[in-house]
Structure 1
Protein backbone atom coordinates (compact mmCIF):
# COMPACT_ATOMS: atom_id res chain seq x y z
CA UNK A 1 0.00 0.00 0.00
CA UNK A 2 1.31 3.46 -0.91
CA UNK A 3 0.79 5.65 2.14
CA UNK A 4 1.16 9.41 2.33
CA UNK A 5 2.26 11.07 5.55
CA UNK A 6 0.17 14.10 6.43
CA UNK A 7 2.63 15.41 9.00
CA UNK A 8 0.59 18.44 10.23
CA UNK A 9 1.92 21.92 10.93
CA UNK A 10 2.82 21.41 14.57
CA UNK A 11 4.79 18.22 14.03
CA UNK A 12 6.54 19.70 11.02
CA UNK A 13 7.60 22.91 12.76
CA UNK A 14 8.05 21.93 16.41
CA UNK A 15 8.12 18.15 16.77
CA UNK A 16 9.62 16.61 13.60
CA UNK A 17 10.53 13.41 15.46
CA UNK A 18 6.81 12.59 15.59
CA UNK A 19 6.69 12.49 11.80
CA UNK A 20 9.94 10.55 11.56
CA UNK A 21 8.68 8.00 14.10
CA UNK A 22 5.48 7.55 12.11
CA UNK A 23 7.49 6.82 8.96
CA UNK A 24 9.83 4.39 10.75
CA UNK A 25 6.89 2.52 12.19
CA UNK A 26 4.97 2.18 8.93
CA UNK A 27 8.08 1.19 6.97
CA UNK A 28 8.90 -1.45 9.59
CA UNK A 29 5.44 -2.87 8.94
CA UNK A 30 6.29 -3.16 5.25
CA UNK A 31 4.66 -0.12 3.68
CA UNK A 32 6.05 2.50 1.34
CA UNK A 33 5.60 5.92 2.93
CA UNK A 34 5.67 9.06 0.82
CA UNK A 35 6.06 12.57 2.20
CA UNK A 36 4.46 15.05 -0.23
CA UNK A 37 6.71 18.06 0.20
CA UNK A 38 4.13 20.50 -1.15
CA UNK A 39 1.63 19.89 1.67
CA UNK A 40 0.68 22.90 3.79
CA UNK A 41 -1.67 23.70 6.64
CA UNK A 42 -5.00 21.90 6.25
CA UNK A 43 -6.90 25.04 7.27
CA UNK A 44 -8.23 23.83 10.61
CA UNK A 45 -7.13 26.92 12.54
CA UNK A 46 -8.76 29.17 9.95
CA UNK A 47 -12.07 27.31 10.15
CA UNK A 48 -12.03 27.14 13.94
CA UNK A 49 -11.57 30.91 14.22
CA UNK A 50 -14.23 31.78 11.65
CA UNK A 51 -12.11 32.40 8.55
CA UNK A 52 -13.97 29.94 6.33
CA UNK A 53 -13.43 31.80 3.07
CA UNK A 54 -9.68 31.95 3.67
CA UNK A 55 -9.66 28.20 4.36
CA UNK A 56 -10.97 27.26 0.91
CA UNK A 57 -7.59 27.53 -0.90
CA UNK A 58 -5.99 25.41 1.83
CA UNK A 59 -8.67 22.75 1.50
CA UNK A 60 -8.18 22.74 -2.28
CA UNK A 61 -4.42 22.41 -1.95
CA UNK A 62 -4.76 19.60 0.58
CA UNK A 63 -7.07 17.69 -1.76
CA UNK A 64 -4.81 18.30 -4.75
CA UNK A 65 -1.71 17.10 -2.89
CA UNK A 66 -3.12 13.96 -1.26
CA UNK A 67 -5.79 12.64 -3.64
CA UNK A 68 -3.32 10.49 -5.58
CA UNK A 69 -2.49 8.18 -2.64
CA UNK A 70 -4.12 4.95 -1.46
CA UNK A 71 -4.21 6.14 2.14
CA UNK A 72 -3.26 9.25 4.08
CA UNK A 73 -2.05 8.87 7.66
CA UNK A 74 -1.53 11.63 10.22
CA UNK A 75 -0.19 11.42 13.78
CA UNK A 76 -2.90 13.86 14.89
CA UNK A 77 -6.53 13.23 15.66
CA UNK A 78 -7.22 16.95 15.53
CA UNK A 79 -6.08 17.42 11.93
CA UNK A 80 -7.71 14.20 10.73
CA UNK A 81 -10.90 15.45 12.36
CA UNK A 82 -10.63 18.63 10.31
CA UNK A 83 -10.19 16.69 7.06
CA UNK A 84 -13.17 14.46 7.83
CA UNK A 85 -15.59 16.94 9.34
CA UNK A 86 -14.69 20.37 7.97
CA UNK A 87 -13.18 20.19 4.50
CA UNK A 88 -16.22 19.14 2.47
CA UNK A 89 -18.48 21.50 4.44
CA UNK A 90 -16.14 24.44 3.80
CA UNK A 91 -16.13 23.66 0.08
CA UNK A 92 -19.92 23.30 -0.04
CA UNK A 93 -20.41 26.59 1.83
CA UNK A 94 -18.20 28.25 -0.80
CA UNK A 95 -20.37 26.80 -3.56
CA UNK A 96 -17.68 24.46 -4.92
CA UNK A 97 -19.48 21.14 -5.20
CA UNK A 98 -16.69 19.50 -7.18
CA UNK A 99 -14.17 20.28 -4.44
CA UNK A 100 -16.61 19.06 -1.79
CA UNK A 101 -16.99 15.73 -3.60
CA UNK A 102 -13.22 15.30 -3.87
CA UNK A 103 -12.80 16.27 -0.21
CA UNK A 104 -15.35 13.64 0.83
CA UNK A 105 -13.52 10.97 -1.17
CA UNK A 106 -10.17 11.89 0.37
CA UNK A 107 -11.63 12.03 3.89
CA UNK A 108 -12.79 8.42 3.51
CA UNK A 109 -9.19 7.23 3.19
CA UNK A 110 -7.57 9.61 5.69
CA UNK A 111 -6.70 8.04 9.03
CA UNK A 112 -5.35 8.91 12.44
CA UNK A 113 -2.35 6.67 13.14
CA UNK A 114 -3.96 4.26 15.63
CA UNK A 115 -7.01 3.87 13.35
CA UNK A 116 -4.79 3.00 10.42
CA UNK A 117 -2.77 0.43 12.36
CA UNK A 118 -5.73 -1.34 13.96
CA UNK A 119 -8.51 -0.96 11.40
CA UNK A 120 -6.68 -0.92 8.07
CA UNK A 121 -3.55 -2.97 8.74
CA UNK A 122 -5.22 -5.18 11.33
CA UNK A 123 -2.31 -5.09 13.80
CA UNK A 124 -1.98 -4.25 17.46
CA UNK A 125 1.48 -5.71 18.09
CA UNK A 126 3.83 -3.55 16.03
CA UNK A 127 7.01 -5.04 17.45
CA UNK A 128 7.72 -2.16 19.83
CA UNK A 129 9.77 -2.35 23.03
CA UNK A 130 9.50 0.38 25.68
CA UNK A 131 10.28 -0.64 29.28
CA UNK A 132 8.74 2.32 31.08
CA UNK A 133 5.66 3.19 33.13
CA UNK A 134 3.28 4.99 30.77
CA UNK A 135 -0.10 6.66 31.05
CA UNK A 136 -2.29 7.67 28.10
CA UNK A 137 -4.37 10.81 27.61
CA UNK A 138 -7.17 10.46 25.00
CA UNK A 139 -7.29 13.83 23.26
CA UNK A 140 -10.68 15.43 22.66
CA UNK A 141 -10.74 15.26 18.87
CA UNK A 142 -9.51 11.67 18.73
CA UNK A 143 -11.96 10.61 21.42
CA UNK A 144 -15.07 12.60 20.52
CA UNK A 145 -14.72 13.56 16.86
CA UNK A 146 -13.03 10.45 15.47
CA UNK A 147 -14.12 7.87 18.04
CA UNK A 148 -10.76 6.09 18.17
CA UNK A 149 -11.88 4.40 21.38
CA UNK A 150 -9.43 1.92 22.84
CA UNK A 151 -7.28 1.52 19.73
CA UNK A 152 -4.29 3.42 21.22
CA UNK A 153 -4.60 1.43 24.44
CA UNK A 154 -4.65 -1.87 22.54
CA UNK A 155 -1.47 -0.83 20.77
CA UNK A 156 0.22 0.21 24.01
CA UNK A 157 -0.74 -3.01 25.80
CA UNK A 158 1.11 -4.99 23.13
CA UNK A 159 4.38 -3.05 23.60
CA UNK A 160 6.99 -5.24 25.22
CA UNK A 161 8.14 -4.10 28.65
CA UNK A 162 5.62 -1.27 28.87
CA UNK A 163 3.75 -0.83 32.15
CA UNK A 164 0.47 0.88 31.21
CA UNK A 165 -1.31 2.66 34.06
CA UNK A 166 -4.79 4.12 33.80
CA UNK A 167 -5.15 7.90 33.89
CA UNK A 168 -7.87 9.04 36.33
CA UNK A 169 -10.64 11.08 34.68
CA UNK A 170 -8.94 10.35 31.37
CA UNK A 171 -11.78 11.68 29.24
CA UNK A 172 -11.57 15.17 30.71
CA UNK A 173 -10.11 17.78 28.33
CA UNK A 174 -6.59 19.00 29.06
CA UNK A 175 -7.64 22.59 28.37
CA UNK A 176 -5.61 23.26 25.24
CA UNK A 177 -8.23 23.41 22.51
CA UNK A 178 -6.04 25.35 20.08
CA UNK A 179 -7.00 29.02 20.31
CA UNK A 180 -9.15 28.23 23.38
CA UNK A 181 -5.97 28.26 25.49
CA UNK A 182 -5.36 31.84 24.32
CA UNK A 183 -8.87 33.28 24.38
CA UNK A 184 -9.84 31.55 27.63
CA UNK A 185 -6.49 31.40 29.36
CA UNK A 186 -7.71 31.22 32.95
CA UNK A 187 -10.17 28.41 32.24
CA UNK A 188 -7.53 26.59 30.21
CA UNK A 189 -5.03 26.83 33.05
CA UNK A 190 -7.57 25.48 35.55
CA UNK A 191 -8.37 22.52 33.30
CA UNK A 192 -4.66 21.89 32.82
CA UNK A 193 -4.09 21.88 36.59
CA UNK A 194 -6.74 19.17 37.05
CA UNK A 195 -5.21 17.07 34.30
CA UNK A 196 -1.69 17.45 35.70
CA UNK A 197 -2.89 16.30 39.13
CA UNK A 198 -4.29 13.19 37.47
CA UNK A 199 -1.08 12.53 35.54
CA UNK A 200 1.10 12.93 38.61
CA UNK A 201 -1.09 10.56 40.61
CA UNK A 202 -0.19 7.70 38.25
CA UNK A 203 3.55 7.87 38.97
CA UNK A 204 4.14 7.46 35.24
CA UNK A 205 7.54 8.07 33.68
CA UNK A 206 5.90 9.02 30.39
CA UNK A 207 2.63 10.63 29.36
CA UNK A 208 1.56 9.80 25.83
CA UNK A 209 -1.21 10.87 23.48
CA UNK A 210 -2.01 10.96 19.78
CA UNK A 211 -1.80 14.75 19.33
CA UNK A 212 1.38 16.80 19.63
CA UNK A 213 -0.68 19.91 20.39
CA UNK A 214 -2.13 18.51 23.60
CA UNK A 215 1.23 17.03 24.60
CA UNK A 216 2.83 20.44 24.11
CA UNK A 217 0.30 21.95 26.51
CA UNK A 218 0.65 19.13 29.03
CA UNK A 219 4.43 18.98 28.71
CA UNK A 220 4.71 22.66 29.45
CA UNK A 221 2.71 22.22 32.64
CA UNK A 222 4.67 19.15 33.73
CA UNK A 223 7.93 20.95 33.06
CA UNK A 224 6.96 23.96 35.17
CA UNK A 225 6.08 21.61 38.02
CA UNK A 226 9.31 19.64 37.53
CA UNK A 227 7.11 16.59 37.79
CA UNK A 228 9.66 14.20 36.27
CA UNK A 229 7.15 12.91 33.71
CA UNK A 230 8.16 13.16 30.05
CA UNK A 231 5.73 13.55 27.17
CA UNK A 232 6.07 11.33 24.12
CA UNK A 233 3.77 10.97 21.16
CA UNK A 234 2.19 7.56 20.66
CA UNK A 235 4.14 7.18 17.40
CA UNK A 236 7.45 7.57 19.22
CA UNK A 237 6.63 4.74 21.61
CA UNK A 238 5.30 2.43 18.90
CA UNK A 239 8.35 3.08 16.70
CA UNK A 240 10.78 2.27 19.51
CA UNK A 241 12.61 -1.08 19.61
CA UNK A 242 15.03 -2.57 22.10
CA UNK A 243 17.93 -1.55 19.85
CA UNK A 244 17.00 2.13 19.76
CA UNK A 245 18.23 4.85 22.13
CA UNK A 246 15.70 6.20 24.60
CA UNK A 247 13.61 8.77 22.70
CA UNK A 248 13.89 12.39 23.75
CA UNK A 249 10.82 13.79 25.45
CA UNK A 250 8.89 16.38 23.46
CA UNK A 251 9.63 19.19 25.91
CA UNK A 252 13.36 18.42 25.88
CA UNK A 253 13.34 18.14 22.08
CA UNK A 254 12.08 21.68 21.76
Structure 2
Protein backbone atom coordinates (compact mmCIF):
# COMPACT_ATOMS: atom_id res chain seq x y z
CA UNK A 1 0.00 0.00 0.00
CA UNK A 2 1.49 3.33 -1.10
CA UNK A 3 -0.12 6.38 0.45
CA UNK A 4 0.43 10.00 -0.57
CA UNK A 5 0.31 12.60 2.19
CA UNK A 6 -1.74 15.65 1.22
CA UNK A 7 -0.84 18.64 3.41
CA UNK A 8 -3.22 21.63 3.10
CA UNK A 9 -1.78 25.13 2.67
CA UNK A 10 -2.61 26.45 6.13
CA UNK A 11 -1.17 23.34 7.80
CA UNK A 12 2.02 23.70 5.77
CA UNK A 13 2.35 27.40 6.62
CA UNK A 14 1.14 27.60 10.22
CA UNK A 15 0.92 24.09 11.70
CA UNK A 16 3.64 21.92 10.08
CA UNK A 17 3.83 19.86 13.28
CA UNK A 18 0.35 18.52 12.43
CA UNK A 19 1.64 17.22 9.09
CA UNK A 20 4.65 15.67 10.83
CA UNK A 21 2.41 13.99 13.42
CA UNK A 22 0.21 12.59 10.63
CA UNK A 23 3.25 11.20 8.82
CA UNK A 24 4.70 9.65 11.96
CA UNK A 25 1.35 8.15 12.96
CA UNK A 26 0.85 6.50 9.58
CA UNK A 27 4.39 5.14 9.57
CA UNK A 28 3.92 3.71 13.08
CA UNK A 29 0.96 1.80 11.69
CA UNK A 30 3.10 0.32 8.92
CA UNK A 31 1.96 2.54 6.05
CA UNK A 32 4.39 3.38 3.23
CA UNK A 33 3.94 7.17 3.00
CA UNK A 34 5.14 9.44 0.20
CA UNK A 35 5.03 13.24 0.24
CA UNK A 36 4.63 14.67 -3.30
CA UNK A 37 6.78 17.78 -2.89
CA UNK A 38 5.27 19.75 -5.80
CA UNK A 39 1.77 19.81 -4.28
CA UNK A 40 0.03 23.15 -3.78
CA UNK A 41 -3.48 24.38 -2.91
CA UNK A 42 -6.40 22.08 -3.71
CA UNK A 43 -8.48 25.08 -4.81
CA UNK A 44 -10.97 25.10 -1.95
CA UNK A 45 -10.59 28.82 -0.98
CA UNK A 46 -11.36 29.93 -4.54
CA UNK A 47 -14.28 27.54 -4.90
CA UNK A 48 -15.76 28.66 -1.56
CA UNK A 49 -15.57 32.27 -2.73
CA UNK A 50 -17.52 31.55 -5.92
CA UNK A 51 -14.57 31.21 -8.26
CA UNK A 52 -14.48 27.46 -8.85
CA UNK A 53 -14.12 28.17 -12.59
CA UNK A 54 -10.65 29.53 -11.83
CA UNK A 55 -9.38 26.38 -10.08
CA UNK A 56 -8.44 24.44 -13.21
CA UNK A 57 -4.71 24.94 -12.63
CA UNK A 58 -5.00 23.76 -9.02
CA UNK A 59 -7.02 20.75 -10.10
CA UNK A 60 -4.62 19.67 -12.85
CA UNK A 61 -1.66 20.11 -10.52
CA UNK A 62 -3.39 18.07 -7.82
CA UNK A 63 -4.04 15.24 -10.27
CA UNK A 64 -0.46 15.40 -11.54
CA UNK A 65 0.94 15.11 -8.01
CA UNK A 66 -1.43 12.53 -6.56
CA UNK A 67 -2.05 10.09 -9.40
CA UNK A 68 -0.69 6.56 -9.09
CA UNK A 69 -1.11 6.10 -5.34
CA UNK A 70 -3.34 3.58 -3.61
CA UNK A 71 -4.69 6.24 -1.24
CA UNK A 72 -4.30 9.93 -0.46
CA UNK A 73 -4.51 10.93 3.22
CA UNK A 74 -4.81 14.38 4.74
CA UNK A 75 -5.23 15.90 8.23
CA UNK A 76 -8.04 18.14 6.96
CA UNK A 77 -11.67 17.12 6.53
CA UNK A 78 -12.65 20.27 4.64
CA UNK A 79 -9.91 19.94 2.01
CA UNK A 80 -10.63 16.24 1.59
CA UNK A 81 -14.33 16.91 1.12
CA UNK A 82 -13.54 19.57 -1.48
CA UNK A 83 -11.40 17.09 -3.43
CA UNK A 84 -14.03 14.36 -3.14
CA UNK A 85 -16.85 16.59 -4.35
CA UNK A 86 -15.22 19.12 -6.67
CA UNK A 87 -12.02 17.77 -8.20
CA UNK A 88 -12.26 17.80 -11.99
CA UNK A 89 -9.31 17.97 -14.33
CA UNK A 90 -8.10 17.65 -17.91
CA UNK A 91 -7.47 13.97 -17.16
CA UNK A 92 -10.92 13.18 -15.81
CA UNK A 93 -10.21 9.45 -15.41
CA UNK A 94 -7.32 10.25 -13.06
CA UNK A 95 -9.47 12.79 -11.20
CA UNK A 96 -12.22 10.20 -10.73
CA UNK A 97 -9.70 7.74 -9.28
CA UNK A 98 -8.39 10.38 -6.85
CA UNK A 99 -11.90 11.38 -5.71
CA UNK A 100 -12.49 7.77 -4.68
CA UNK A 101 -9.13 7.33 -2.95
CA UNK A 102 -8.73 10.50 -0.86
CA UNK A 103 -9.36 10.19 2.89
CA UNK A 104 -9.21 12.36 5.98
CA UNK A 105 -6.78 10.73 8.44
CA UNK A 106 -9.44 9.50 10.91
CA UNK A 107 -11.47 8.08 8.02
CA UNK A 108 -8.40 6.27 6.78
CA UNK A 109 -7.51 4.81 10.17
CA UNK A 110 -11.03 3.51 10.79
CA UNK A 111 -12.39 2.68 7.33
CA UNK A 112 -9.25 1.43 5.55
CA UNK A 113 -6.76 0.33 8.22
CA UNK A 114 -9.49 -0.76 10.68
CA UNK A 115 -7.29 0.25 13.62
CA UNK A 116 -8.26 -1.61 16.80
CA UNK A 117 -5.58 -0.30 19.18
CA UNK A 118 -2.98 2.44 19.41
CA UNK A 119 0.20 2.84 21.47
CA UNK A 120 -0.68 6.48 22.24
CA UNK A 121 -0.76 8.07 25.68
CA UNK A 122 -2.15 11.56 26.41
CA UNK A 123 -2.96 12.21 30.06
CA UNK A 124 -5.22 15.24 29.76
CA UNK A 125 -8.90 16.23 29.76
CA UNK A 126 -9.91 16.69 26.15
CA UNK A 127 -12.97 18.16 24.47
CA UNK A 128 -13.83 17.11 20.92
CA UNK A 129 -14.93 19.66 18.34
CA UNK A 130 -16.65 17.81 15.49
CA UNK A 131 -16.22 20.02 12.44
CA UNK A 132 -19.08 20.45 10.01
CA UNK A 133 -17.25 19.25 6.90
CA UNK A 134 -16.19 16.03 8.60
CA UNK A 135 -19.50 15.43 10.31
CA UNK A 136 -22.01 16.35 7.64
CA UNK A 137 -19.87 15.85 4.55
CA UNK A 138 -17.57 12.91 5.28
CA UNK A 139 -19.92 11.27 7.82
CA UNK A 140 -17.15 10.93 10.41
CA UNK A 141 -19.77 11.28 13.14
CA UNK A 142 -23.54 11.28 13.43
CA UNK A 143 -25.48 14.54 13.29
CA UNK A 144 -27.57 15.17 16.40
CA UNK A 145 -30.47 16.51 14.34
CA UNK A 146 -31.02 13.03 12.88
CA UNK A 147 -33.03 10.43 14.76
CA UNK A 148 -30.41 7.74 14.35
CA UNK A 149 -27.90 5.84 16.50
CA UNK A 150 -24.97 8.10 17.47
CA UNK A 151 -21.43 7.33 16.36
CA UNK A 152 -18.11 9.11 16.10
CA UNK A 153 -15.05 7.64 14.41
CA UNK A 154 -12.92 10.27 16.10
CA UNK A 155 -14.25 9.40 19.55
CA UNK A 156 -13.62 5.73 18.87
CA UNK A 157 -9.93 6.44 18.26
CA UNK A 158 -9.65 8.80 21.23
CA UNK A 159 -10.96 6.05 23.51
CA UNK A 160 -7.91 3.99 22.50
CA UNK A 161 -5.54 6.62 23.92
CA UNK A 162 -4.29 5.74 27.41
CA UNK A 163 -4.77 8.38 30.08
CA UNK A 164 -7.09 10.57 28.00
CA UNK A 165 -10.31 11.79 29.61
CA UNK A 166 -12.89 12.77 26.99
CA UNK A 167 -15.24 15.38 28.47
CA UNK A 168 -18.94 15.75 27.74
CA UNK A 169 -20.16 18.99 26.14
CA UNK A 170 -23.55 20.64 26.27
CA UNK A 171 -23.69 20.88 22.47
CA UNK A 172 -21.72 18.08 20.90
CA UNK A 173 -21.82 19.09 17.25
CA UNK A 174 -22.30 22.85 17.14
CA UNK A 175 -20.46 24.80 14.43
CA UNK A 176 -17.48 26.88 15.61
CA UNK A 177 -18.27 29.66 13.13
CA UNK A 178 -15.10 29.41 11.04
CA UNK A 179 -16.60 28.26 7.76
CA UNK A 180 -13.63 29.24 5.58
CA UNK A 181 -14.46 32.54 3.93
CA UNK A 182 -17.56 32.87 6.16
CA UNK A 183 -15.35 34.13 9.00
CA UNK A 184 -14.28 37.00 6.73
CA UNK A 185 -17.68 37.84 5.23
CA UNK A 186 -19.57 37.50 8.53
CA UNK A 187 -16.89 38.28 11.10
CA UNK A 188 -19.15 39.21 14.03
CA UNK A 189 -21.35 36.12 13.70
CA UNK A 190 -18.30 33.91 13.25
CA UNK A 191 -16.61 35.26 16.37
CA UNK A 192 -19.75 34.89 18.51
CA UNK A 193 -20.14 31.27 17.44
CA UNK A 194 -16.50 30.61 18.25
CA UNK A 195 -16.79 32.28 21.66
CA UNK A 196 -19.74 30.02 22.50
CA UNK A 197 -17.83 26.95 21.36
CA UNK A 198 -14.80 27.76 23.48
CA UNK A 199 -17.00 28.55 26.50
CA UNK A 200 -18.61 25.09 26.35
CA UNK A 201 -15.19 23.42 26.56
CA UNK A 202 -13.93 25.72 29.29
CA UNK A 203 -17.09 25.20 31.36
CA UNK A 204 -16.34 21.47 31.38
CA UNK A 205 -12.69 21.97 32.36
CA UNK A 206 -11.08 20.80 29.13
CA UNK A 207 -7.32 21.23 29.00
CA UNK A 208 -7.33 20.71 25.23
CA UNK A 209 -9.78 21.05 22.35
CA UNK A 210 -9.14 18.59 19.56
CA UNK A 211 -10.70 17.95 16.17
CA UNK A 212 -10.15 16.74 12.62
CA UNK A 213 -9.80 20.19 11.04
CA UNK A 214 -6.94 22.48 12.00
CA UNK A 215 -8.79 25.33 10.30
CA UNK A 216 -11.58 25.19 12.90
CA UNK A 217 -9.04 24.78 15.68
CA UNK A 218 -7.13 27.79 14.33
CA UNK A 219 -10.30 29.86 14.60
CA UNK A 220 -10.88 28.70 18.18
CA UNK A 221 -7.23 29.25 19.04
CA UNK A 222 -7.48 32.91 18.04
CA UNK A 223 -10.44 33.39 20.39
CA UNK A 224 -8.68 31.52 23.19
CA UNK A 225 -5.63 33.76 22.91
CA UNK A 226 -7.67 36.97 22.84
CA UNK A 227 -9.68 35.92 25.88
CA UNK A 228 -6.69 34.39 27.63
CA UNK A 229 -8.63 31.17 28.22
CA UNK A 230 -6.98 28.25 30.09
CA UNK A 231 -7.25 25.75 27.22
CA UNK A 232 -5.17 24.76 24.20
CA UNK A 233 -5.97 23.32 20.77
CA UNK A 234 -4.42 20.18 19.34
CA UNK A 235 -5.10 18.20 16.17
CA UNK A 236 -6.38 14.65 16.54
CA UNK A 237 -3.27 13.29 14.76
CA UNK A 238 -1.04 14.84 17.42
CA UNK A 239 -2.94 13.04 20.18
CA UNK A 240 -2.98 9.71 18.36
CA UNK A 241 0.76 10.08 17.79
CA UNK A 242 1.52 11.14 21.39
CA UNK A 243 3.52 8.92 23.69
CA UNK A 244 3.20 10.72 27.02
TM-score norm. by structure 2 comes to 0.93
Is 1:116 the equivalent of 2:118?
no
The DSSP-based 3-state class of the residue aligned with 1:204 is coil
* Cα distance in 1 between the residues matched to 2:163 and 2:196: 29
Alignment match, 1:30: 30
Structure 1 residue runs of 4 or more that deviate by more than 3 Å after TM superposition: none
User: CA-to-partner distance for each residue in 1:196-253, whole Å, 9 max, x for gaps?
Assistant: 22111110111001111100000111122221101000000001113xxxxxxxxxxx
Q: Distance in 2 between matches of 1:9 and 1:124?
A: 31
Asked whether the equivalents of residues 117 and 124 of structure 1 are also in contact (C-alpha less than 8 Å), the reply is no
| Cα shift readout 1:64-94 (whole Å, capped 9, x = no counterpart) | 1101111100000000000001113xx5xxx
How do 1:174-253 residues align onto structure 2 when only pairs under 5 Å count?
A: 174-242=176-244
CA distance in 1, matches of 2:171, 2:93: 39
Question: d(CA) in 2 for partners of 1:52 and 1:161?
Answer: 44
Which structure 2 residues correspond to residues 40-51 of structure 1 after superposition, within 5 A? 40-51=40-51
Distance 1:54 1:173 in 2: 28
Greater CA drift, 185-194 or 112-121: 185-194
Alignment coverage as a number of residue pairs: 234
The structure with the greater share of residues assigned to helix is 1
What does the per-residue CA deviation read over 1:91-122, in whole Å, with 9 as the maximum and x for residues that have no partner? 5xxxx5xx333222111111000010011001
| Counterpart for residue 148 of structure 1 | 140
Tell me how far apart the structure 1 counterparts of residues 85 and 170 of structure 2 sit (CA, whole Å).
29
Separation in structure 2 between the aligned mates of residue 148 and residue 124 of structure 1, nearest angstrom = 17
Distance in 2 (CA, whole Å) between partners of 1:106 and 1:166 is: 37
In 2, are the aligned partners of 1:124 and 1:154 still within 8 Å (CA)?
no
Structure 2, unmatched stretches of 5+, are 142-151
